[in-house]
Structure 1
Amino acid sequence: MRHVTVNAFGGPEQLVVKSMTEPLRPGLGQLLVEVEASGVNYMDVYQRNGMGNRPLPYTPGLEGVGRVREVGEGIDDASGALSIGRRVAWINVPGSYADQVIVPAAQAIPVPDSFATAQALLFQAITAQYLVSEYRTVRPGDRVLVHAAAGGVGGLLVQWLKHLGAWVVGTTSNDAKAATVRALGADAVINYGRDYAFLDELKSLTDRRGVDLAFDSVGAATFAASLEGLARGGTVVLSGSASGRPPAIDPMDLINPCTRVAGGSLFSYVADPAELQRRAGAVVDAIRAGWLRMGDGTAYDLERVADAHRAIEGRGTQGKLYLRP
């Protein structure tokens, strides 16, 4: 079995492909899965840099899709959805950069054979599902700002919000990404380039009223302006910090504009297996219905894992990146 190992925190060069001869065997309540694809997420970069408190050495990756190769004892699977040969996805199984993974049956999400590889990698889509459902009941006409709107989560947020009838403005870092966001259905796009300046244009687009909801995964470079760009009673949700930790906020500054600050973590919203399956089911239904469109993504052979990390760090990517073991 091949897997990626990180022996020291640092840059992409720390990602090394190794082989092991001892076979994996599933234990009680576990599945052995032959990996079709391992998702590459920005969280993997944080952990590689040492921000995830992972003990060294470790195999990175949390997400993947593959087929069940062996079923451990103690699994109640009356439907046969987890039987040998069936296709399953997962979003929180450490060590997924490998060609075989042990997946707890409670975290295995059945996915249709008809889904393309990128469609079956569900980390970003389930993230979008919890973001649009937990902080505001989005109604037609609500004004929503989505940062990094050409990224994996951002592009899905745009589609989900438009499905709910919202007016959506997305931010991007270049014209090519802006075209992608428009094609996803955004009503307006702000190309903030490398300096992240978007507030003046946002106020102009909203007749200085601001937005009812803002999703900020960028952090330090954008969060203060995202807060200032809210309408009365609006909410900004911090869901990431790609540019660094955002500055501290004085709660007194929220009183007069009547604005709210929230934060969210996908893992908090899928810790319960039943909730994970419910949220994943909503995503699978949306993909089947055709209104949630997943791009083809960009595939890298496992040996090119360092290149995949350089790509996602360089802000030049669109859509899903994944490894092909």
Structure 2
Amino acid sequence: MRAIVLAAHGGPDALRLEERPAPSPSEGEIVVENQFCGVNFIDLYQRKGLYPVALPVVLGCEGAGRVVAVGAGVSGFRVGDRAVYLSTGGGYAEQTAVAAWRAAPLPAAIGADIAAASFLKGLTAEMLLRQVYPVARGAKALVYAAAGGVGTILTQWAALLGAEVIAVVGNDEKAAAARRLGAAHAIVRTKTESISAAVRDVTGGAGVDVVYDSVGAATFADSLDSLAPRGMMVSYGNASGPVPSIAPLELGRRGSLFLTRPSLFHYATPERFAGMASALFDLMESGRIRVDPPATFRLDEAGAAQAKLESASTMGSLALKP
């Protein structure tokens, strides 16, 4: 089978198309023939070496297609079933072996392209809004990259929960998109010298209850300054680089703030995974959360897809088609 292999850390050109043996399922696994594979920032972090992985490695943490093999002990899938999955790697390939508990039956109403490009992102949104900081009606939430892959789902879901969403985006087009998704306010980063000052302005000086920051180093200080006393800072991405260390006393000085750096793989456990996927699909099937078809690249264009994601010029999600 064809797969995208990373043999050494580097730029997008470090990704190479290679022929590899097709996987066979171990006990508790299924093999999915990928119709589409999602492209995510975690793939970029692994390519650069920010998130250590053993090399050589096939990147890719989500995909969707049809089950072509079922390992011993698996009862929830049969050959031919449509499936979408979350994995710790191996997604940039024609076929992927994945633990069956990390896969979900794909509803007929959801296309494989949309599923492959939104599953990890949608589960991330579920984790952020229902587990890391359970958002209640009336909460004020600051959402970075609100027109991006995670951000489009996060903004819609937070608004459905009754939050007052303040979106942070890169341009006017993305600001308009964020408002259509349910954001009450949109801050364009290139048009303000201080995000926190803009947040204080729209909240009457109060600040927000929670910040969902996927940008990282470039926005960390502004994010902390945007919080109301006892607010929660959720740092869940490093698009601009990893955040600096901060002393606990500094969190106290800024208003007894809370800080967390969640990983989806610590929340999407065997006990929780099915419920998380069901919550996401219920909202997508009912139309309460809308996910547009992703911008699609050929498998051998994985480097170009990652470069596009890294450019911050995208709206929505990206996917590879093997």
Fold equivalence (TM over 0.5):
yes
1:86 to 47, 56, 81: 81
**Which residue of 1 is the match for residue 291 of structure 2?**
294
SS of residue in 2 equivalent to 1:16 = strand
Distance 1:188 1:116 in 2: 31
Aligned: 1:261 with 2:259: yes
Distance 1:174 1:307 in 2: 22
Contact 1:6-1:56 within 8 A present in 2 as well: yes
Aligned: 1:222 with 2:219: yes
SS of residue in 2 equivalent to 1:277 = helix
**Which residue of 1 is the match for residue 2 of structure 2?**
2
**Structure 1 residues 196 and 310, CA, compared in 2 at 3 Å: closer, same or farther?**
farther
Distance 1:314 1:195 in 2: 20
Deviation, 1:274, is 2.5
Letter in 2 for 1:86: D
Aligned ranges 1:104-183 → 2 under 5 Å: 104-121=99-116, 122-183=119-180
Aligned: 1:29 with 2:24: no
Distance 1:11 1:184 in 2: 33
SS of residue in 1 equivalent to 2:284 = helix
Letter in 2 for 1:103: V
SS of residue in 2 equivalent to 1:112 = coil
**Structure 1 residues 194 and 103, CA, compared in 2 at 3 Å: closer, same or farther?**
farther
Contact 1:118-1:294 within 8 A present in 2 as well: no
User: Per-residue displacement from partner, 1:80-135 (whole Å, max 9, x unpaired)?
Assistant: xx111111111124111001111222222111122023431300000000100124
**Which residue of 2 is the match for residue 305 of structure 1?**
302
Aligned: 1:74 with 2:69: no
Distance 1:117 1:318 in 2: 19
Aligned ranges 1:167-206 → 2 under 5 Å: 167-193=164-190, 197-206=194-203
User: Per-residue displacement from partner, 1:23-80 (whole Å, max 9, x unpaired)?
Assistant: 4322322222111111100010111112222222111111111101122222223xxx
Contact 2:215-2:239 within 8 A present in 1 as well: yes
Aligned: 1:279 with 2:276: yes
User: Per-residue displacement from partner, 1:198-234 (whole Å, max 9, x unpaired)?
Assistant: 1211111111111111111111111111111111221
Contact 2:192-2:198 within 8 A present in 1 as well: no
Distance 1:220 1:24 in 2: 38
**Structure 1 residues 64 and 247, CA, compared in 2 at 3 Å: closer, same or farther?**
same
Distance 2:192 2:12 in 1: 25
**Which residue of 1 is the match for residue 19 of structure 2?**
19
Distance 1:315 1:89 in 2: 26
Distance 2:235 2:115 in 1: 26
Q: TM-score, normalised by structure 1?
A: 0.94
**Structure 1 residues 250 and 70, CA, compared in 2 at 3 Å: closer, same or farther?**
closer
**Structure 1 residues 23 and 168, CA, compared in 2 at 3 Å: closer, same or farther?**
closer
RMSD (Å), alpha carbons: 1.6
Contact 1:232-1:259 within 8 A present in 2 as well: yes
Contact 2:22-2:95 within 8 A present in 1 as well: no
Deviation, 1:248, is 2.4
**Which residue of 1 is the match for residue 61 of structure 2?**
62
Deviation, 1:313, is 0.7
Contact 2:37-2:92 within 8 A present in 1 as well: yes
Residue identity over aligned pairs, in percent, reads 37
Q: TM-score, normalised by structure 2?
A: 0.94
Contact 1:224-1:247 within 8 A present in 2 as well: no
Contact 1:61-1:96 within 8 A present in 2 as well: yes
